[in-house]
A and B are shown apart, each in its own frame.
Chain A
Amino acid sequence: MHAESEVRIPLVTGGKTVHDVTEDICSRVEEKPTKLWMMAMAVSLALLAVGAYAVYLLLWNGIGMWGLNKTVGWAWDITNFVWWVGIGHAGTLISAILLLFRQRWRMSINRAAEAMTIFAVICAALFPILHTGRPWLAFYWMFPLPNTFGSLWVNFNSPLLWDVFAISTYFSVSLVFWYIGLIPDFASIRDRATNKVSKAIYGALSFGWTGGAKTWSHYETVALVLAGLATPLVLSVHTIVSFDFATSVIPGWHTTIFPPYFVAGAIFSGFAMVLTLLLVTRKVYKLEDYITIEHIEMMNVIIIVTGSIVGIAYITEFFIAWYSQVEAEQYAFINRATGPYWWAYWSMMTCNVISPQLFWFKKIRTNLAATFVISIIVNIGMWFERFVIIVTSLHRDFLPSSWAMFYPTAVDIGTYVFSFGVFFTAFFLFAKFFPVINMAEVKSIIKATGQKK
């Protein structure tokens, strides 16, 4: 039951042996932190500190520190939440869906992409937790605790509650999936460690892994079943996130196209973030033989596909608003494109629909600088998409006398900066202390698809 596709370009270039893989990846963990890493870490810690001050102001004074008003009750908070969750989706797509499809090019990028997923979901979870105002009480509000704890049971009809379950399941299952993959690689680092401290730490992290055939056989089953579970899970997460909007009756939100449109958008922005991070990691860690132009091209192809789905979704929404003949719905869309937030709408359109189409040219999708720039443009566009959906649908509600604009405050910006601080601090720690490439998996394909010397 093993089908082989036609001969392809080698997935690992440079005539690497199995030992070279261990050497190349482990030495990154073993060497002293470089100056460049220190600088990057300093910048992320600075972001974290600035952001932490904003979060402190927010928690001390309350949600009034954000620029929300009576009409626009959700703005940057939920925009950032949806944006970060979406980014997370690429990691699971790479590690789970591409595993089920036996796409071997996933192997050298899945580790970093999954790490990104986990950190992005942490950043995402920050916003709903912070927007409760008093997070230390949120536990009572969000989890199904008995009535004797002070309030009624949670309402299982609410998509916001489904979100609590979806995001926490997604986070914990992704974490387990990632960790299972890390265990054999931690064992490699343990067996190479020369000092007692790192031997003890990586020894504990590796859970006493020895690599016996029986364990590998169980391990492969676990990875396959986890991939099978994570695939519908990742599709469910952004579907449920889209329900937060789709199950309401706000014109512009009340749309059945949301679930597939959100999932496609999530994968689109996630791949863009994977590219942004990996292009830098690849350069700094000299991983050109593992993350080849072929890998980058494949990811760019996924960006064209999902970007085009997103583009079609934008146009379909507009068409359906007209076709439905519902006046409020039509107004919501005309207002998006030509109202006071026209600049957000057209930024979204340019960044998400037009820029990825450039990848139809092979020259552009195999060009590192172009890919890097477009990957950032896509993420800016995807942030605007969520901003457009959330704020422009709310700011002109049913009663013209209550129409308002949303202006972010310094604390709004600071909270967003905080999430970047968390994300980059976590990612740089990962890149330094954890193996950034799944060694065991890459080793298993060296013989079949590695470039011969």
Chain B
Amino acid sequence: MSQGTNYVLGVYEDEDVLMDAIKQVREKGVKIEEVYSPFPVHGIEDALGYKRSWLSVAAFMFGITGTSLALTMQIGMMGVDWPMIIGGKDFVPIPSFIPVTFEMTVLLAAFGMVGTFFGVSNLKPWGRPRIYDIRITDDKHVMAIDLDKNDLKEAEIKSIVDGSGASEVNNKTFE
């Protein structure tokens, strides 16, 4: 076996075949590292046993941060630092503060969530991705299996993947 990380790659043409294949391969005790697809396949995260994405919680947290920041800013500026009577309104006219508070909530929720998404998914402009198969971003679904993390022999894994409906079974090594 060569140096580095060795993968067996199952290439699938169709998302429904892929879904069945994931179930079969996992039932036979093979650990799948990740499945790569050109488009989101519905239900694939359940088939792979992933938890639901928690990014909506992150968005909510950033959102309430935005709400409180906006309110603190407006109350601090108009109510505390330099109170002025404008149009006979209170120093802290809450109805007037709603639009800016809403916008800041949305702004922080969106940017916070997207920033977190880039962070957890390791997406960055200078990122050098491991490209398992150049056709993933075109039309092929690729199941990557890390040989070192599996107890089964390479030949056994290959036959399981092959039997699950893969159109090709390839090897790939990364340094």
Stretch of B111-119, B145-153, B154-162 contacting A (4+ beta carbons < 8 Å) = B111-119
Write the nearest CB–CB distance from B80 to chain A, whole angstroms: 11
CB pair B35 A192 closer than 8 Å: no
A204-B125, A207-B118, A225-B59 known; A173+B39 contact, CB < 8 A: no
Q: Mark B90-134, 1 if CB is under 8 A from A, else 0.
A: 000100110110111011011101100110111111111111101
A222–B110 Cα gap in the complex (Å)? 9
Write the nearest CB–CB distance from B115 to chain A, whole angstroms: 10
CB pair B136 A440 closer than 8 Å: no
CB pair A440 B39 closer than 8 Å: yes
A191–B122 Cα gap in the complex (Å)? 18
CB pair B15 A447 closer than 8 Å: yes
A419 on the B face (CB < 8 A) = no
| Set A157, A191, A210, A441: member contacting B86, Cβ < 8 A | A157
Write the nearest CB–CB distance from A214 to chain B, whole angstroms: 6
CB pair A222 B114 closer than 8 Å: yes
A157–B98 Cα gap in the complex (Å)? 10
CB pair A144 B73 closer than 8 Å: yes
The total of interchain contacts (Cβ-Cβ below 8 angstroms) comes to 195
A187–B129 Cα gap in the complex (Å)? 10
Write the nearest CB–CB distance from A209 to chain B, whole angstroms: 7
A409–B52 Cα gap in the complex (Å)? 59
Q: Which of A333-378 contact B (CB under 8 A)?
A: none
Q: Which of A1-33 contact B (CB under 8 A)?
A: 2, 17-19, 22
A226–B40 Cα gap in the complex (Å)? 17
Q: Mark B39-66, 1 if CB is under 8 A from A, else 0.
A: 1111011001010110110010000000
CB pair A218 B37 closer than 8 Å: no
| Set A2, A156, A212: member contacting B78, Cβ < 8 A | A156
Q: Mark A223-244, 1 if CB is under 8 A from B, else 0.
A: 0111001101100100010010
* Main secondary structure on A side of the interface with B: helix
CB pair B137 A188 closer than 8 Å: yes
Q: Mark B56-86, 1 if CB is under 8 A from A, else 0.
A: 1001000000000000011001100110101
B89 on the A face (CB < 8 A) = yes
Q: Which of A112-167 contact B (CB under 8 A)?
A: 144, 147, 152-157, 159, 161-162, 165-166
B29 on the A face (CB < 8 A) = no
Chain B residues contacting A230 (CB-CB under 8 Å) are 106, 110
Residue of A nearest to B95 (CB): A157
CB pair A176 B37 closer than 8 Å: no
Q: Which of A22, A176, A220, A221 has the most CB of B within 10 A?
A: A221
- B→A interface (CB under 8 Å): 14-16, 34-42, 44-45, 48, 50, 52-53, 55-56, 59, 73-74, 77-78, 81-82, 84, 86-87, 89, 93, 96-97, 99-100, 102-104, 106-107, 109-111, 113-114, 117-118, 120-132, 134-139
